[in-house]
Amino acid sequence: MSTRYLRPLAAFGFAVLVSACASMGTHPAAAKPADSTVIQSDIAYLASDRLEGRLTGTPGNDSAAAYIARRYAKLGLKPASPGYLQKFVARSAADAHAGITQGRPTQNVIAILPGSDPHFAGQYIVVGAHFDHLGRDPQFALDPEAKDAIRNGADDNASGTAAVMQLARILAPTHPRRSIIFADFSGEEEGLLGSQWFVDHPPVPLDSIMAMVNFDMVGRLNNDKLIIYGTATATEFQAILDSANAKSVMPFKVSGGGDGFGSSDQSSFYAKNIPVLHFFTDLHSDYHRATDDADKINSGGEARVVDMARRVIQSLDEMPTRLTFVRMTQPSRMAVSASSGSQVYLGSVPDMAAGDTPGLKLTGVRPGSPAELGGLKADDIIVEFGGVKVTDLQSYSDALYTHKPGDTVKVIVLRAGKPVELTVTLGKRGG
């Protein structure tokens, strides 16, 4: 019999099968493991001198964006904007304070992996990282004595960018049920400008974004220590993370915090009531210095972080319902400072190599700064700032940025193991 006269019952059975598949969703294919060689190669290019540190608004930043866009095009991902580039003009508070008013033309790079299940394809998981860094500008550097040396930002944040590209490579062939947006942001170092532009001009409705997973400085894994922030922004996150870590060949020592606000791009999404996670392998002595180069990257460790994150993302994709969003009682003060452009200044120089030291250890203070005038010294460990307990750089920054220039603040430090109370009058950056 000709196929054009298929029996009605067979046709009905086929329709039922199609409907059932659509309602249950397509089970994603298995993903390949992360490739540490590709990760190292991507970081080596992004953090090469030829890109001059990828400062927002420079040719090196544009070259990095073009490199990322080419990768997404090769993977067959759908562009969210013409040529994958979401163009905008970055206008930072620091530039305005310095009298620079023209703005910096730049771009985010946005690509979409469409979901395979009609029931879930309209929901999105954003996988993101910033690709900009400091370039030759010493303004936010911790080694101003290096002047206009290139600060390549291998870990900050070529590593996070490489992680996002690697996740695109290993997730694209798996046909996830939900859609995934791979987003690489510019302007993060100037105040989360690229991610803020994204949420203000989203390529999809904001309420269709189920979660945002951010990567910032994930290239220096040490002693299996993995920090994940945002764990309390959805009630389901902790169980998902615990399960993903348990499946690791070598489980991580996971720490972090529940707050979705912080000093990286997940903060822009959390402010829009989107659950977020931020993967981070901790600070180190090369942070915001000209010594943050590709030869110091632990690409094998980063591959492990990517595999852990891939399991988390696939768990999110396979959920029968959306996450249960949790709004923390008060936004992080660091996030507030980033959006408001606070220029409060103390002049302390953190010891980035003292990541496990409770409190914030100082490697020095700037000559003539409020820190020096207030009596702070090298090797002091700040344990309390303005009545707020300090446990690390982030909690110190949160405490600092709740104040404004001219405020008088009590600071408690440990000096030779003994507590010392000091009083400082905060200054204004660049003032």
For 45-89, how does the pLDDT look when each residue is reduced to its tens digit (9 = 90+)? 999 999 999 999 999 999 999 999 999 999 999 999 888 999 999
User: pLDDT tens digits, residue range 184-204?
Assistant: 999 999 989 999 999 999 999
C-alpha 314 chain-centroid distance: 19
What pLDDT does residue 20 have?
Answer: 40
Q: Is the pLDDT of residue 256 over 80?
A: yes
What pLDDT does residue 99 have?
Answer: 79
Q: Which residue has the higher pLDDT, 332 or 389?
A: 389
Report whether the peptide linkage leading into residue 108 is cis, meaning its omega lies within 30 degrees of zero: no
User: pLDDT tens digits, residue range 306-345?
Assistant: 999 999 999 999 999 999 999 875 444 333 333 334 578 8
* Residue carrying the six token digits 């110091």: 296
Degrees to nearest 5, angle at CA 398 with 395 and 400: 110
Helices (H), ranges, 265-405 = 266-270, 299-318, 333-340, 370-373, 393-400
What pLDDT does residue 104 have?
Answer: 95
| Coil vs helix vs strand at 280 | strand
What pLDDT does residue 411 have?
Answer: 97
Whole-prediction pTM value?
0.78
| Coil vs helix vs strand at 242 | helix
Cα–Cα distance between 379 and 354 in angstroms, integer?
10
User: pLDDT tens digits, residue range 7-46?
Assistant: 333 443 433 333 344 434 455 677 899 999 999 999 999 9
Cα–Cα distance between 245 and 195 in angstroms, integer?
28
Residue type, 246: A
Q: Is the pLDDT of residue 370 over 60?
A: yes
Find the helix or strand (DSSP H, E) in which 39 lies.
helix 36-46
The radius of gyration of the chain from alpha carbons, rounded to an integer in Å, stands at 23
What pLDDT does residue 237 have?
Answer: 97
Cβ atoms of 59 and 50 closer than 8 Å: no
Strand ranges, E, within 47-98: 78-79, 85-90
One-character DSSP codes across 127-158: EEEE--B-BT--TT-S-GGGTT--B--IIIII
Token output for 312: 């988390």
Cα–Cα distance between 261 and 335 in angstroms, integer?
6
pLDDT band of residue 355 (cuts 50, 70, 90) is low
| Coil vs helix vs strand at 354 | coil
Cα–Cα distance between 183 and 310 in angstroms, integer?
15
**Domains present along the chain, CATH in parentheses:** 27-318 (3.40.630.10), 343-428 (2.30.42.10)
User: Taking phi first (over 0 means left), then psi (-120 to 50 degrees means alpha), and beta for anything else, what does residue 417 get?
Assistant: left
Q: In degrees rounded to 5, what are phi and psi of residue 140?
A: -105, 10
Q: In degrees rounded to 5, what are phi and psi of residue 385?
A: -140, 115
Q: Is the pLDDT of residue 359 over 70?
A: yes
* Least confident segment among 137-141, 241-245, 286-290, 306-310: 137-141
Q: Which residue has the higher pLDDT, 396 or 178?
A: 178
What pLDDT does residue 391 have?
Answer: 87
What pLDDT does residue 28 have?
Answer: 62
User: pLDDT tens digits, residue range 86-114?
Assistant: 999 998 877 777 778 889 999 999 999 99
> What share of the chain has pLDDT > 70, as a percent?
88
Q: Calculate the average pLDDT of the chain.
A: 88
What pLDDT does residue 362 have?
Answer: 85
What pLDDT does residue 334 have?
Answer: 38
What pLDDT does residue 354 have?
Answer: 56
Q: Is the pLDDT of residue 138 over 60?
A: yes
Question: Which of these, 211, 182, 205, lies nearest to 270 by C-alpha position?
Answer: 211
What pLDDT does residue 101 have?
Answer: 82
Residues in a beta bridge with 381: 361, 414
Cβ atoms of 261 and 192 closer than 8 Å: no
Q: In degrees rounded to 5, what are phi and psi of residue 61?
A: -65, -40
Per-residue DSSP letter, 44: H
Q: Is the pLDDT of residue 2 over 80?
A: no
Degrees to nearest 5, angle at CA 313 with 39 and 198: 80
What pLDDT does residue 6 have?
Answer: 36
